[in-house]
């Protein structure tokens, strides 16, 4: 079976499992997704959603984030970890959006990458969820699952992104990545994958290998 064939089967099965899955970060305004994603680094989405529920009420506009007191914002986001770096980035990116992009979230990958603290993972999420463009968000679940399936041998996010661009139809790429996140939480867990309950096991490299080695 080729990687292309395996990818097609993976897309079909994940669509059966999670046809309506969406980004697990809560937001209403485009810039709120950017801030929530910045806070999600090394932090669970569930905790971020708890923090942003209060945060977005306290700072209801992009301008209020841009003019926030750094030490106060640090305390506001402290539960998400790495709070000094994250607070500094939020203030900087808010000012950049206002001063460099007229208060509107940039619409291209290159422009998004100019914002403080924004890497390809975050930029792809914005491209897919805000602007409806093809996007491969290579979070830890996506990297783990596509690696186990045999769609990529790489671990570095940008390399995985390039590999998946060749295999996943662009019109469903952003949705596919959200599906892998939920699938990674439910079935294909990092330490104890539930291979016996997995509808993708029939074409999964990891499952075939563990069977050959007698580990299942």
Question: How far does the chain reach from its first CA to its final CA, in angstroms?
Answer: 22
Q: Which residues contact 118 (CB under 8 A, 6 or more apart)?
A: 34, 38, 93, 112
Kindly report, residue by residue over 145-201, the tens digit of the pLDDT: 999 999 999 999 999 999 999 999 999 999 999 999 999 999 999 999 999 999 999
**Residue spans of alpha helices (H) in the chain:** 3-17, 30-39, 45-58, 62-66, 70-77, 83-101, 109-112, 120-129, 140-149, 157-165, 173-186, 205-212
* Cβ atoms of residues 199 and 16 within 8 Å: yes
And the tokens for 194? 């539930």
Q: Which domains does the chain have, with CATH numbers?
A: 3-20+137-212 (1.10.1670.10), 30-129 (1.10.340.30)
Cα(6)–Cα(8) distance, integer angstroms: 5
Instruction: Indicate the SS3 state at residue 153.
Output: coil
Per-residue pLDDT tens digits for 43-92: 999 999 999 999 999 999 999 999 999 999 999 999 999 999 999 999 99
CA nearest 163: which of 7, 22, 13, 41?
7
With a cut of 90, say whether residue 215 has pLDDT above it.
no
């Amino acid at each position: 079976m080729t990687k292309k064939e395996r990818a097609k089967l993976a897309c079909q099965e994940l669509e059966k499992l999670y046809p309506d899955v969406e980004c697990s970060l809560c937001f209403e305004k485009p810039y709120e997704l950017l801030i929530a994603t910045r806070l999600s680094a090394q932090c669970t989405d569930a905790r971020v959603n708890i923090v942003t529920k209060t945060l977005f009420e306290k700072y209801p506009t992009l301008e209020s984030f841009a003019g926030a007191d750094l030490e106060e914002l640090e305390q506001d986001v402290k539960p998400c970890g790495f709070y000094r770096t994250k607070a500094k980035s939020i203030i900087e990116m808010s000012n950049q959006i206002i001063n460099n992009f007229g208060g509107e979230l940039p619409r291209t990958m290159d422009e998004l990458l100019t914002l403080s603290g924004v890497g390809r993972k975050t930029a792809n999420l914005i491209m897919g969820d805000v602007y409806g463009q093809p996007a491969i968000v290579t979070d830890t679940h996506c990297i783990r699952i596509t690696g186990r399936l045999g769609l990529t041998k790489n671990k570095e996010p940008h390399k995985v992104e390039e590999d998946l661009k060749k295999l996943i139809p662009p019109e469903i790429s952003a949705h596919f990545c959200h599906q892998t996140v939920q699938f990674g939480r439910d079935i294909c867990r990092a330490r104890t994958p539930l291979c016996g309950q997995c509808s993708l096991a029939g074409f999964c490299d990891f499952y075939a290998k563990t069977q050959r080695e007698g580990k299942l």
